[in-house]
Structure 1
Amino acid sequence: MSTTVATRLVAHLQPVTAGAQIADVRIGLGYSAVRLSTGEVGLSWTPKEEARCCQQFGEAGTLVGRPAGDLLGWLERPDALRRMLGLATANALGVRLAPAPATGADVIGLLGLEPADHLVMVGHFGPLLPPIRKTGCRLQIVEAEPDGEELGPEEGRQALGRCSVAIITATSLVTGGLEGYLEALGPVRAAVLLGPSVPLFPEVFRGSRLTHLAGSRVVDGARVLQIVSEGGGTPTLKVHLEAVIVPVG
């Protein structure tokens, strides 16, 4: 792909920014959320370092009332906090588009893992680890700051070139590593971008080796905003989200 995912996301959503302003912004411990003036709510993962120092955000107090297109453009900024708010805004704006066709919500069933498979997971996504390990496949986990047997980013990119299946968490959209991981992917039989922050727009990812987007649609925006404000994460949010899998091809 000749342009970045962030650039394509901004271009894809720019037509639906007309008339939309930022009505509410919540920066939580696990996730952050944006509500538009027309009611749509979008989520994004909160980087851990930002959760500890978000009170120092210099533009706090100026976000409500701004055009949604302004924050959408932050997807292309270099700092993770602005990218986070840009992604939450993108996911809120995406509600204005016709939803892409989905194929259920069972990621493990979709992948059909077997003992012969080599799965590389970029970002530790704990809920999937027990069912993955039950399949007997070879599993390698990639983290920015690896612990124990985890791989670092450079080793992870090398492993992505050799694996048969890949799961890349949407945190990489916020931290800025997604482009490198997508470029490193070899001829995998399946590659999934995973997590509640995933922007469910398959058009944006065509031309990459991603095969599916496994994300969530907000069902109850008011409850999502409350849980984010109270420091909640995936376990408390998930009952107010609809998990979906969208094919990229």
Structure 2
Amino acid sequence: MLLRRVKREALKLAGGLKLVDFGFALPYTWVLAQGSEGKALGVAMTLPEEVQRYTSSISEPSLEAFIERADSLNVIERTLGLAAINAVSQYYIDLSGAEWVDVLDLIPENAGNIAMIGNMPPLVRELREKGHRVYVFERNAKLWDRDTYSDALEYHLLPEMDAVIASASCLVNGTIDMLLDRAKKARLFVLTGPTGQLLPEFLRGSGVTHLASMKVVDLEKALLGLKLGSFRGFEEGNRKYVVEVG
């Protein structure tokens, strides 16, 4: 299980950091960590449609306590765990080799069949305008349109895909292992969105080829956006980057 492996690696780095603040919230759950070099903010997409009645098993919040539950069956614990892993990752990540570009810049002209895991209309529209064959899969029926497939069809169609752009929320809903297993033909497998703030080395050898995420460049603005429940407010404090997993 990929998430279990990521959890083990994150725990090795978490000891030098302390938990400053956190919030399970919409649109993103967030964790703020601090070390000798400053603060780092990690987020994970909150999936309200996945949330059931919740009893926390965490009595004393800490980075380690959150990360330990990153592979929990409880989606709230799992979301907090991923946000904590991302906070640790963003503290240690080296983006000197990153490209400060959009995920679309990774897609070659002859990409073939492209799977979009999670309906991201602006990306889908741009890819189709460029003439690409795009198959959009979405779990949340509220986000469907006439060209969207249920995520139940991922199992059957992913083996035919040449490239996959997956919302990193697939880490939150626990489908990442199935996606990677079924998309083995894909030459490109990108995890995209703020939830993909992971250290690239956590994913080496997994089948993920790139991470397309966001680096916080204005901590106060990003944190205020999160506390106000604002997509735009959070994203205004960030800068998009793409990094190869290797």
User: So what's the TM-score if we normalise by structure 2?
Assistant: 0.87
Tell whether 2:190 aligns with 1:192.
yes
Check 1:135–1:220 CA distance in 2 against 1; reply closer, same or farther (3 A cut). same
User: Which amino acid in structure 2 is aligned with residue 67 of structure 1?
Assistant: S
Tell whether 2:106 aligns with 1:110.
yes
Question: Corresponding residue for 2:3?
Answer: 6
CA contact (8 A) 1:22 1:67 kept: yes
CA contact (8 A) 1:27 1:229 kept: no
CA contact (8 A) 1:27 1:228 kept: no
Task: Provide structure 2 residue ranges, at least 5 long, that are not aligned to the other structure.
Answer: none
CA contact (8 A) 2:56 2:77 kept: no
Measure the CA separation in 2 of the matches of 1:31 and 1:159.
30
Select which of 117, 122, 129 maps to 1:127. Answer: 122
CA contact (8 A) 1:16 1:96 kept: no
Question: Corresponding residue for 2:13?
Answer: 16
Question: Corresponding residue for 2:26?
Answer: 29
Tell whether 2:202 aligns with 1:208.
no
Tell whether 2:142 aligns with 1:144.
no
SS at match of 2:101: coil
How many residues are treated as equivalent by the alignment? 239
What does 1:21-100 correspond to in 2, within 5 Å?
21-38=18-35, 39-49=39-49, 57-59=54-56, 66-100=61-95
What CA deviation, in whole Å up to 9, does each residue of 1:113-172 have, x standing for no partner? 44x721110111223122111111111111124544422233112221101111111111
User: Which amino acid in structure 1 is aligned with residue 104 of structure 2?
Assistant: I
Query: Could you tell which deviates more after superposition, 160-169 or 145-154?
Result: 145-154
- Root-mean-square deviation over aligned CA pairs: 2.3
CA contact (8 A) 1:143 1:152 kept: yes
Question: Corresponding residue for 2:156?
Answer: 158
Measure the CA separation in 2 of the matches of 1:128 and 1:203.
26
SS at match of 1:213: strand
Measure the CA separation in 2 of the matches of 1:26 and 1:145.
23
SS at match of 1:96: helix
What's the offset of the Cα at 1:181? 0.6
